[in-house]
Structure 1
Amino acid sequence: MRLTALPAFQDNYIWALQTTDGRAVFVDPGQSAPVFDAVAQGMQPAALLLTHHHNDHIGGVAELRQRWPQLPVFAPVDERITVECERVGDNQRVQLPGFDFSVMEVPGHTRSHLAYFGHGHLFCGDMLFSLGCGRMFEGTPAQMLASLTRMAALPPQTRVCCGHEYTLANAVFARHVDPNNAALQRRQKEAQDMRSHCLPTVPAVLADELQCNPFLRTGDAAVVAAVATRLGRTPADAVETFAELRRWKDGFSA
């Protein structure tokens, strides 16, 4: 399988996972033009996978379906996604010739957010980012933490394919929380080098995220201590640690 990050908008990625014969699944096409360009260079569209309803993740679907009316589209059960599609939910599978993905319901960023896991790749939209996580627009801290914990339990070599290029900004906050983390320092340097050469910093490897991403480490002593300093007391549990960490990030400026 060949993975390609197609840049869209200012910092979005549309993911294309391609078989050896050129057939490709496209994830979260917020714009149609990057997909049209990829097809012009030889990719053959096999399906679209949608993680959630935000327009920067689904805005190109209608134009793509105009071009390929029979192109399968898989999406969460959410009335805000109005394109014709096959609705999928937790523990279902998306199976196509050459492709097999398991569907995970991961509420938090939105109430109906999905992730797709297959072929060693996790397509997680705006739920999990390298060194960060999405904002909670509709979910609760308990939901968000449960969703992140579930994704964190996937095989360590899983490649985390998120929807935005946020790694450098996330690294600044993560270093503020956990300044003595050597693995985090290495990841920040690696990401800086990648961006200096105009390369995507993702996909990230899940094993690395488990060492570096504070939102996946709510039980880690250094993260708990940083949150306790902000609260003026020890957080009651992992949910409170996560909630305060997310609140801290929401208002953070370097």
Structure 2
Amino acid sequence: MLSVTPIPAFGDNYIWLLRQDTNSEICVVDPGDAAPVIELIEREGLTLSTVLITHHHQDHTGGLPELIERYAPRVIGPNNPKIAGIDERVGQGDEFRALGRLFEVHEVPGHTLDHIAFFTAGIPPLLFCGDALFSAGCGRLFEGTPEQMHASLGKLAALPDDTLVFAAHEYTLANLRFALAADPHNPDVAKAMEECQRARELDRPTLPSPLAREKRINPFLRCRDAGVRQAASAHGDTDSESATFATLRSWKDNF
């Protein structure tokens, strides 16, 4: 059985820790800060065998040098030579094994051009998507185009509905506030807001989120929905799904 737990960092980042119940070997995803990872490893006597990197931003890679120096893990990440320390550079369609599980690589440009996501089938399937897909939102377009990001989210939305989405940031409440404006007649959004507010009041993460739920509450996955398009039409072009996405993303940037 593969378990996944969050290691909080920088106030709203999650470094995801994966481990099998039967041994002390672990994998971490996007260690922007080495300190909390090292503290947990030393406290629990764990062995860091693998690090997964989704993209080059410092809050996802900053802990790599110290973790490599201390533990010499296998590091798997995007084909971007600017990220030092990657042993295996992977892209669309590549597969690898970590902790006994087979992972698939999906290229999801938009937030950055080098962004990738890691998917592993199972019960349930797991998706580690960095800053591409958030609960009720998606990443800002720092390098890619709206068309790229829309296509990337469509790729992720095609994964099985029971996939658990492990995004890299606790942005859910802010995203849901936008979703209430962008999808104002959607009862699932209001329900999600209540649930996530309760979770945060108890200092619990709002992640992971099932992909089926994201398809109901995430306006960026609902660009063909009439209610979303009507709400977005006051802010820009909604003549196509891609145009609606671009309008939503611009609206959210200034929300």
Give the TM-score normalised by structure 1.
0.95
Structure 2 counterpart of 1:149, from 147, 154, 159:
154
1:113 correspondence with 2:115: yes
Partner of 1:89: 91
Q: Which amino acid aligns with 1:187?
A: A
Partner of 1:37: 39
Partner of 1:11: 12
In structure 1, the gaps of 5 or more residues are: none
Distance 1:77 1:221 in 2: 38
Partner of 1:228: 233
Partner of 1:191: 196
Q: 1:97 to 1:28 in 2, by over 3 A?
A: closer
Distance 1:184 1:22 in 2: 39
- Partner secondary structure for residue 230 of structure 1: coil
Cα deviation for residue 43 of structure 1 reads 3.1
Post-superposition Cα deviations, 1:72-120, rounded to whole Å, max 9, x if no partner, equal 0001011220224210111101213512210000000000100000141
Taking only aligned residues, the RMSD between alpha carbons, in angstroms, comes to 1.1
* Contact 2:27 2:99 (C-alpha < 8 Å) held by counterparts: no
Cα deviation for residue 180 of structure 1 reads 1.7
Structure 1 counterpart of 2:167, from 147, 152, 162:
162
Cα deviation for residue 52 of structure 1 reads 0.2
Q: Which amino acid aligns with 1:223?
A: V
**1:173-252 to 2 correspondence within 5 Å?**
173-231=178-236, 235-252=238-255
Structure 2 counterpart of 1:101, from 100, 103, 111:
103
Q: 1:42 to 1:221 in 2, by over 3 A?
A: farther
How many aligned positions are there? 249
Calculate percent identity across the aligned residue pairs: 47
Post-superposition Cα deviations, 1:214-246, rounded to whole Å, max 9, x if no partner, equal 000000111111112323xx6221110000000
Q: 1:84 to 1:158 in 2, by over 3 A?
A: closer
- Partner secondary structure for residue 239 of structure 1: helix
Cα deviation for residue 42 of structure 1 reads 3.7
Distance 1:43 1:146 in 2: 38
Distance 1:56 1:111 in 2: 16
- Partner secondary structure for residue 7 of structure 1: strand
Cα deviation for residue 137 of structure 1 reads 0.6
- Partner secondary structure for residue 233 of structure 2: helix
Post-superposition Cα deviations, 1:161-185, rounded to whole Å, max 9, x if no partner, equal 0010000000111001112211111
* Contact 1:18 1:43 (C-alpha < 8 Å) held by counterparts: no
Q: Which amino acid aligns with 1:19?
A: Q
* Contact 1:23 1:45 (C-alpha < 8 Å) held by counterparts: yes
* Contact 1:117 1:123 (C-alpha < 8 Å) held by counterparts: yes
Distance 1:143 1:43 in 2: 39
Distance 1:34 1:121 in 2: 23
Deviates more, 1:190-199 or 1:178-187: 178-187
Distance 1:97 1:189 in 2: 36
Distance 2:100 2:86 in 1: 23
Distance 1:96 1:218 in 2: 35
In structure 2, the gaps of 5 or more residues are: none
* Contact 2:184 2:227 (C-alpha < 8 Å) held by counterparts: no
